[in-house]
Amino acid sequence: MEGSDVAAQGEPGASAEVSDGETLGASDAVKAYLGDAYDGVARYAEMLRDQGELRGLIGPREVSRIWERHILNSAAVVPYLPASGSVADIGSGAGLPGVVVAAMRPELEVILVEPMERRTTWLTEVVAELGLTNVQVKRGRAEEFHGAFEVDAVTSRAVAALSKLVRLSMPLVRVGGEMVILKGRSVAEEIEPARKVLQKYGSGTPDVLDGVTVEGVEATTIVRVRRAK
């Protein structure tokens, strides 16, 4: 996919004036935002809705807000990823944000890293169902892969505080690559405790960015930090 298409995917679109998750997922705004990726992402949302709670992947309260809290929240990371190359999603769990990234950016090679077998089984099923040919599922903790592979960027959501996340993830990032993390608004508090480990990789103060998707859907916070050594 060319850069202009990538930018279009990240562009805030028309308003989705709906509160119900299912309606949001079927809205023109979401369809326009996801473009060619819509069908695959919608199928993934359906799978999460139908099996997510049963299989212990998401809590019962999440079923009605899969699109806003999970799918679109994950999609917010996409405009900050490199145009091509490889991305590893650390602690992918149910596939967030990794499956959404892989569906929206088929030109990226995506590795989903997840230690729990129940979850890697699910991820493998999702990848097959969506026909994603750009995804590898690797079972294990991020630390187990240090020295085994390096990628252009790592993503993660809800895995650990920034200092721990840097220790887990940065060894998987090539020099010159980046960590691009979905975080809550309180991430500023995590930056100071992470300074020392960030120095080890020659990384300065992380960028704290707004992750905006479809109008009417709450923006998220994205932290981006480059590995310089």
Ligand X SMILES: C[S@@+](CC[C@H](N)C(=O)[O-])C[C@H]1O[C@@H](n2cnc3c(N)ncnc32)[C@H](O)[C@@H]1O
List 18, 71, 77, 96, residue binding ligand X (CB under 6 A) = 96
Work out the number of other CB atoms within 10 angstroms of the CB of residue 165: 24
> Shortest approach of ligand X to residue 22 CB, angstroms?
20
List 77, 90, 101, 112, residue binding ligand X (CB under 6 A) = 90
Peptide bond into 106 cis (omega under 30): no
Identify residues 159-198 at the interface with ligand X (CB under 6 A).
Answer: 159, 168
Per the annotation, does 157 bind a ligand? Answer: yes
List 49, 69, 105, 119, residue binding ligand X (CB under 6 A) = 119
Instruction: Check binding of 124 to ligand X (CB under 6 A).
Output: no
27 versus 155: smaller Cβ distance to ligand X: 155
Per the annotation, does 109 bind a ligand? Answer: no
Measured distance CA(206)–CA(227) in Å, rounded: 10
Question: Which window, 38-46, 61-69, 91-99, 211-219, contacts ligand X (CB under 6 A)?
Answer: 91-99
Measured distance CA(70)–CA(211) in Å, rounded: 13
List 6, 142, 173, 222, residue binding ligand X (CB under 6 A) = 142
Encode 111-144: b = buried (16+ Cβ within 10 Å), e = exposed. bbbbeeeebbebbeebbeebebebbebbbeebee
Question: Which window, 18-26, 48-56, 85-93, 99-107, contacts ligand X (CB under 6 A)?
Answer: 85-93
Instruction: Specify whether the CB–CB gap between 198 and 227 falls below 8 A.
Output: no
Per the annotation, does 43 bind a ligand? Answer: no
DSSP letter assigned to residue 214: S
Tell me which residue of 227, 193, 229, 225 sits closest to 209, measured CA to CA.
225
List 158, 161, 188, 228, residue binding ligand X (CB under 6 A) = 158
What backbone torsions phi and psi does residue 210 show, to the nearest 5 degrees? Answer: -90, 125
> Shortest approach of ligand X to residue 77 CB, angstroms?
11
The residue ranges that bind ligand X (CB under 6 A) are 90-94, 96, 113-116, 119, 141-143, 157-159, 168
